Amino acid sequence: MADETPTNSASNSAPTPEGQAAATPQAATPSDLPVDHAAEAALKAAQDAIASLGDLTGTPSPAAADGAEPFELPSFTSGSTNGSPAPIDLLSDVDLQVKIELGRTRMLVEDVLKLADGAVIELDKLAGDPVDIYVNERHVARGEVLVLNDNFCVRINEILSASSETKKAG
């Protein structure tokens, strides 16, 4: 017999003392390694969860055969899909009565009958006091009177809550 010294060949196999070629050492596969049963159960649960999701293209997953139904996400589009206007758009052309109240006063009928051009009526508010803003007879805000391009304007300074209006009414 020939001298049996290990040689490197193209097949990466080395002769064994009996003259047979041994298989090259390969990387251990997961099935060859000792398995922790808890890790195996966790892996199985994760694979089942992934399989139950199916793919995102809408094809049913294997879990659907087990009686599970795919979950459909709700649509969160801003507009309506059937061509009808959004609910707030239905109110966009409703007329509202907006009234700005500078102040109030009480007068006798006799004093009203005496009013003429140039008469001055004194109100219960001082100059610079906030004016009241009413929408459909409901007190909704307070603001200040401004003059802009020779027109009177009101800058809203405070939006009233429903609870503050009911306290004042009561």
> How many whole angstroms separate alpha carbon 66 and alpha carbon 128?
75
* pLDDT tens for each residue of 115-147: 999 999 999 988 889 999 999 999 999 999 998
What integer pLDDT is reported at residue 71 of this predicted model?
75
73-77, 141-145, 153-157: segment of lowest average pLDDT:
73-77
> Taking 70 as the threshold, does the pLDDT of residue 18 lie above it?
no
* pLDDT tens for each residue of 53-66: 765 545 555 555 56
* pLDDT tens for each residue of 82-128: 666 677 778 888 899 999 999 999 999 999 999 999 999 999 988 88
Contact 55, 67 (CB under 8 A): no
What integer pLDDT is reported at residue 34 of this predicted model?
57
Domain ranges for the chain, please list them: 38-66, 96-113+123-169
What integer pLDDT is reported at residue 48 of this predicted model?
80
Tell me the two tokens of residue 146: 């401004």
> Taking 90 as the threshold, does the pLDDT of residue 8 lie above it?
no
Residue type at 17 in one-letter notation: P
User: Is residue 48 within a helix (H) or strand (E), and if so which, with residue range?
Assistant: helix 37-53
Pick the CATH number of 96-113+123-169 from 3.40.640.10, 2.40.160.210, 2.30.330.10, 3.50.50.60: 2.30.330.10
Q: Count the Cβ atoms, other than its own, within 10 Å of residue 133.
A: 21
Residue type at 34 in one-letter notation: P
61 strand-pairing partners: none
Nearest to 127 by CA among 155, 146, 141: 146
